[in-house]
Structure 1
Amino acid sequence: MPLSITSLKPYVPSKDFELSKRFYTALGFTLSEGWGGTADFSLNGHAFRLQNYYVQDWANNFMFVIGIEDIEAWHQRAVELLNSNTFPGMRVKAPEPVDASLVLHVWDPTGVLLVFVQ
């Protein structure tokens, strides 16, 4: 029998746990409270676990790729959040072509890089 997995849930660091929970909720993910200093976020059957844990070198090197269908919609949402001045430390880079894809870079308030790829 070949190896398989039924789910995958990375643990994402947060410098300010409450701020990060508000950020990911505002970005469009659904929050469900976790346990032991964690919170789960999901969207369209994909999930990650935010943890109330921070090491600067790790957070600044943590990133995940998110496959999307509408890069303009995600860019617009990210810019709205950025312009709200509600999430200090957040950054957004305009979409750019990379090979045959369009890529949007968004940094959460902790410094975690979200790489949206259409």
Structure 2
Amino acid sequence: MIQAGKSIRTFVGSKDFEESCRFYETLEFELHHHGKGFAYVSISPEIGFYLQDYYVKDWCENSMLFLEVEDLPAYFDKIIELDLPGKFPGVKIMPIKQQIWGAEFFIIEPAGVLWHIGTFNKESVG
């Protein structure tokens, strides 16, 4: 390896940038705006992605992110309490499913990006 990396950040599109900003703020993510139509969205000080005011249906609807959390049932309960589908048209939340490697649930956000929220079994290699 040439050099160890410090972070890796994907770019996520938005169908309606302002709505997407409200969606991620509702999820209690922190937005750091970097100009018109562009923001860094942080989940914690070390984890985040770039949200942009750019939409291509096929791209957004084929984008996926995986967020590993410590306590999946508690995180799921918090997400359900937020009533995201009631606040944001097109948002869907699927129940927790057990997998061989761990467990996860899904959120489809306003632009169609699929979020996997999960935990790994202790034996699993992420």
Task: Pick closer, same or farther for the CA change 1:83–1:36 going to 2, 3 Å.
Answer: closer
Match of 2:22 in 1: 22
Separation (CA, whole Å) in 2 of partners of 1:50 and 1:84 = 20
Separation (CA, whole Å) in 1 of partners of 2:92 and 2:68 = 19
Q: How does 1:89-104 map to 2 (within 5 A)?
A: 89-104=90-105
Aligned length: 118
Separation (CA, whole Å) in 2 of partners of 1:114 and 1:69 = 16
Offset of residue 80 of structure 1:
2.5
Match of 2:64 in 1: 63
Q: How does 1:1-118 map to 2 (within 5 A)?
A: 2-44=2-44, 45-82=46-83, 85-118=86-119
SS in 2 for 1:66: strand
Contact map agreement 1:16 1:52 (CA 8 A) in 2:
yes
SS in 2 for 1:61: coil
Contact map agreement 1:82 1:91 (CA 8 A) in 2:
no
SS in 1 for 2:82: helix
Could you tell me which runs of 5 or more consecutive residues in structure 2 were left unpaired when the two chains were aligned: 120-126
Partner deviation per Cα, 1:31-72 (whole Å, 9 max, x = no partner): 111225211111222010100000000011000111111111
Identical amino acids, percent of aligned pairs: 34
Separation (CA, whole Å) in 2 of partners of 1:100 and 1:63 = 18
Offset of residue 73 of structure 1:
2.2
Task: Pick closer, same or farther for the CA change 1:6–1:80 going to 2, 3 Å.
Answer: same
Could you tell me which runs of 5 or more consecutive residues in structure 1 were left unpaired when the two chains were aligned: none
Amino acid at match of 2:27: L
Offset of residue 83 of structure 1:
5.6
